[in-house]
């Protein structure tokens, strides 16, 4: 198994496979009246570059929980057979609290994730967003429990690759617990706030600073078309507000050249 080299040619080849899956997701969502938005660096790339950030190696999409659950259901019949919808319910070895579309017949092994037993392949991420309280004890409880659940799910990786002996020991301890306990913790949070009207939502399976603060629900509800790599996909109507929240006021300014690197670092990819 040779090491994957992040040449411009290889990175572009990876991006085009991901673009293919984004087209499939968009087609399914439009057919079934499912709202979604491109998210994170994918949205930033659409606004700043008209497509992928040149050094980016993934695609992120998010949906409110109701749309996410519907998407998972309709994929049973509508998703092209060359793809696989991966969740912890469709793949017992998969640990994360968000879905992926994998391209069958491909291989994607992320550096330091070699121990994971899940199916692998080139993928795009699909994050559900759930109601969260905006402040007070509820806000802190929600973020604390979701943080613990994420660490439990990451423990199989962290036990081997976390920095520092004590971090590895902590992850080794968390890895003694069944990952189903973490999934139940997230399910509890989803149920707890499902029927409470909140202005903010977040993904319990992701822990960025912007995610922890929560996103305005209207950004996921009021959507518009945006061009990404020549195809039309969905974005928040208030794209500027969204990107300021996620990246700061200067989001249109690219980082220094030494910071322009892929996020995930694949060890091996087979197209």
Model confidence over 37-57: pLDDT tens digits?
999 999 999 999 999 999 999
pLDDT surpasses 70 at 2: no
pLDDT at 103: 98
Torsion sign across C-alpha atoms 181, 116, 99, 260: positive
Q: 111 pLDDT band (50/70/90 cuts)?
A: confident
Q: In this structure, are residues 77 and 94 in contact, taking their beta carbons and an 8 Å threshold? A: no
DSSP strand pairing (200-202 vs 123-132): antiparallel
pLDDT surpasses 90 at 207: no
Q: What is the mean pLDDT of residues 63-84?
A: 98
Q: In this structure, are residues 116 and 93 in contact, taking their beta carbons and an 8 Å threshold? A: yes
**Residue tagged 């003694």 (tokens):** 176
Residue 91 gets the label, from left (phi > 0), alpha (psi -120 to 50) or beta, of beta
Neighbouring residues of 178: CB distance < 8 A, sequence distance ≥ 6: none
**Residue tagged 């930033």 (tokens):** 44
pLDDT at 245: 95
CA 9, CA 230: separation in Å to the nearest integer?
Answer: 19
**What's the predicted TM-score (pTM) here?**
0.94
pLDDT surpasses 90 at 156: yes
CA 97, CA 94: separation in Å to the nearest integer?
Answer: 9
Helix (H, G, I), strand (E, B) or coil at 161: helix
**Percentage, residues of the chain above pLDDT 90:** 83
Q: What is the mean pLDDT of residues 179-195?
A: 95
Q: Which helix (H) or strand (E) segment is 41 a member of?
A: helix 40-49
Q: 115 pLDDT band (50/70/90 cuts)?
A: confident
Angle between helical axes of 8-31 and 65-78 (0-180°, round to 10): 100
Domain layout of the chain by residue ranges: 8-270
Neighbouring residues of 31: CB distance < 8 A, sequence distance ≥ 6: 78
CA 185, CA 73: separation in Å to the nearest integer?
Answer: 22
**Residue tagged 């998010």 (tokens):** 62
Q: Where are the beta strands (DSSP E) in the chain?
A: 37-38, 60-64, 83-86, 99-103, 107-110, 123-132, 200-202, 215-216, 223-228, 231-236, 266-270
Encode 21-32: b = buried (16+ Cβ within 10 Å), e = exposed.
Answer: bbebbbebbeee
Torsion sign across C-alpha atoms 254, 257, 258, 260: positive
**Percentage, residues of the chain above pLDDT 70:** 99
pLDDT surpasses 80 at 259: yes
Tell me 73's DSSP state: H
């Amino acid at each position: 198994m040779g090491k994957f080299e992040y040449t411009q040619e290889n990175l572009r080849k990876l991006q085009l496979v991901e673009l293919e899956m984004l087209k499939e997701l968009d087609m399914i969502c439009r057919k079934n009246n499912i709202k979604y938005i491109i998210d994170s660096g994918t949205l930033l790339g659409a606004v700043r570059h008209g497509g992928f950030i040149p050094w980016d190696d993934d695609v992120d999409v998010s949906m409110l929980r109701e749309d996410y659950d519907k998407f998972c259901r309709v994929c049973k019949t509508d998703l092209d057979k060359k793809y696989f919808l991966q969740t912890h319910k469709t793949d017992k070895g998969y640990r994360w609290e968000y879905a992926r579309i994998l391209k069958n017949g491909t291989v994607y092994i992320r550096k330091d994730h070699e121990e994971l037993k899940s199916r692998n392949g080139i993928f795009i991420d699909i994050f559900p967003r759930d109601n969260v309280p905006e402040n007070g004890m509820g806000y802190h409880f929600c973020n604390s429990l979701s943080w613990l659940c994420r660490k439990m799910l990451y423990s199989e990786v962290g036990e081997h690759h976390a920095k520092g002996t004590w971090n590895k020991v902590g992850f080794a301890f968390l890895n003694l617990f069944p990952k189903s306990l973490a999934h139940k913790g997230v399910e509890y949070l989803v149920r707890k706030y499902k029927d409470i009207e909140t202005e903010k939502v977040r993904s319990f399976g992701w822990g960025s600073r912007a995610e922890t603060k929560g996103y305005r629900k209207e950004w996921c509800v009021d959507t518009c078309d945006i061009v990404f790599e020549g195809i039309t996909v969905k974005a928040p109507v208030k794209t500027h507000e969204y990107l300021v929240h996620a990246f700061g006021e200067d989001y249109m300014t690219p980082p220094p050249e030494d910071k322009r690197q892929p996020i995930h670092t694949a060890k091996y990819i087979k197209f």
